[in-house]
Structure 1
């Protein structure tokens, strides 16, 4: 199996492993702060792995920074009261991807940074050589 295919498979397996853990953390009956923290950190890891899967030879740190910028922008959008965003966030997939209506929390920015560091550590070895 070529190196790029092996690394793509490893990234896909990472995503398949992290998504259920993130969903379990988010919906498990533990403390709210733990559910939110674990969910935010793992959210970043999945997005970085997905980006690396698509752009296998891209530098992982650049993808991590792009994901961090995008997720911080999504967090800021939680301050918005645009009707279409409220409608999207009222669904379970929308809430998982875009956050809750009125759910802006500045502490999430730090959690996203931690998630990006973890995603970078996990995904950098899986980047294919250009």
Structure 2
């Protein structure tokens, strides 16, 4: 992915202290390199600082079909042996509804991810659980909402 392209996770520039120009202007997504790209492309040196950032970077990894990153950020207790991507999937957007720290090393993130596959629109609404071990956050599992 081009480093200057808007990050697929859609994190607004204002979310990290960068304000959008002009009052009432549309908030632009952070560039990939300044958002999830720093974790996907430099995961050994740059770990996601919190569960929401990890969840956003995992969404971006699905968009970019980065199984290596998804496997590396999936907790070993629940990590699948193989990760396949649905051919023809087009990711349409991510909405983070809530990031709830439970303790210093546990958190939940509720989100809605939209995508299209085989001409059918799909809406994935999940509350995901994350744990931090050795200074790194990992996805554990999640509850899917109807």
TM-score, normalised with respect to structure 1: 0.25
Flag the structure with higher strand content. Answer: 2
- Which protein, 1 or 2, shows the higher relative CO under an 8 Å CA cutoff with sep ≥ 6? 1
If each structure's helix is expressed as a fraction of its own residues, which one has the higher value? 1
Length-normalised TM-score, structure 2: 0.24
